[in-house]
Amino acid sequence: MTDLAKKRIVLGVSGGIAAYKAAELARLMMKRGIEVQVVMTESATRFVSPLTFQALTGRPVFSDLWDNRLDNGMAHIDFTRDASAVVVAPASADFLAKLAHGNADDLLSTLCLARACPLMVAPAMNRQMWEHPATRRNVSQLKRDGVGIFGPGSGEQACGEEGMGRMLEPEELLFDIEGFFQPKRLSGRKVLVTAGPTFEVIDAVRGITNLSSGKMGYAVARAALEAGAEVTLISGPSCLKPPASAKLIKVTSAQEMLGAVQEAVSEMDIFIGVAAVADYYVLNPSEHKIKKDAHILTLELAPNPDILANVVNLPKPPFCVGFAAESESLFEFAEMKRHRKNLPLLAGNLVQDAINNDISELTLFDDEGAHPLPRGPKIQLARQLIAHMAKLYDLSTNPKNP
């Protein structure tokens, strides 16, 4: 896993009202131990004073190509020489256009052209500017050039309009930047992830479900994306925001989840079943709300299909990973489940600890035994799971490569 601490980031700020959010981003970066060098466009300095960034980062801020504070007068070369990345936030429509066309008429655009490190941008502009064909062309070009594009988000804009164009919040941006640095172990791979609970209908207003929030499954999908995979996320009911670049398929019941998995699985390299699938469904659900009376109500339940077993037993199954949420004897039950389900890798946790928590514990079980991961945020656990899985996957596809 890649840590942000000790990275050197050039934070480019271009002209837009979202420049004020870049001050908070600089503060968060400093808090994570990143060395931050701020470079502003001339118009950015009209929104926020360079002094603000200087105070936050403890470094002088540069914006002029002809600045003589550096002995060799080559700020555009010096700043990116040992940089881990350049992050431009906010990136205005004009700045995206400059980047897409390789223009270099100020310090920030020149150092973006002269850099040898990765470039990430966080667009921020009025929604019509974002939707304009010229901006769409520029963004497509930047994607083709390997530039990381984070956001924009949608919502209320400074101009009073609603729509796409808001710069992502600083915490979200830092999260995306961290993701960008993760090793691309699954580049070119297609990964299918199931997540969340399922909901089995009893009547028009009731159903059977469980306490799964989907947090672990969404974190696994995100970690797979960060590792360079193309990810399809099949999710039961969940309020979580899915990772932006995953293909999301929303389902309700276990049967629907199975149908969606069967439709998608043939082209997948890897299947990761994180969903807490209901083991039973109601045999005769009522179309209308069941009225209460004084009698005992009996529901007839029938077993749901095991989605993971279905995939494992395909003639040409993808590499399969299972999850086990147990309430006791984790090591014993998880290992038994791995054998019973015939899985090369299974991740297990204790439900009391994992359900709805952002921080939990996870143990990986494979042919070599149990590998407990250090307690941490779910995204951190998911990244470690993906790293471990990628090694086993490579071995399974190329057994001669130790």
Residues that bind ligand CTP (CB under 6 A): 194, 254, 273, 275, 277, 279, 304, 306-308, 322-325, 337
Grouping H, G, I as helix, E, B as strand and the rest as coil, residue 309 is helix
Q: Which CB, 105 or 300, lies closer to ligand CTP?
A: 300
CA 180 vs CA 28, 176, 223, 327, 359: distances in Å: 17, 6, 10, 35, 22
Nearer residue to ligand CTP within complex by CB, 132 or 371: 371
Rg of the chain in Å (alpha carbons): 25
Task: Output the smallest distance, CB 237 to ligand CTP, in A.
Answer: 15
> Are residues 192 and 261 in contact, defined by beta-carbon separation less than 8 angstroms?
yes
Helix 93-101 and helix 133-144, axial crossing angle in degrees, nearest 10: 50
Beta strands in 167-211 (DSSP E): 190-195, 200-201, 207-208
Residue 170 vs 318, nearer CB to ligand CTP: 318
Vertex 312: Cα angle to 310 and 313 (nearest 5): 65
Closest contact distance (angstroms) between CB of 274 and ligand CTP is 6
Closest distance of CB 326 from ligand CTP, Å: 7
Closer CB to ligand CTP, residue 13 or residue 334?
A: 334
Minimum Å distance from CB 395 to ligand CTP? 21
387/227 Cα distance (integer angstroms): 8
Q: Is 320 a catalytic residue?
A: no
Minimum CB distance to ligand CTP smaller for 172 or for 306: 306
Q: Which of 112, 117, 159, 239 is catalytic?
A: 159
Say how far apart CA 128 and CA 163 lie, in whole Å. Answer: 9
Residues with active-site annotation? 159
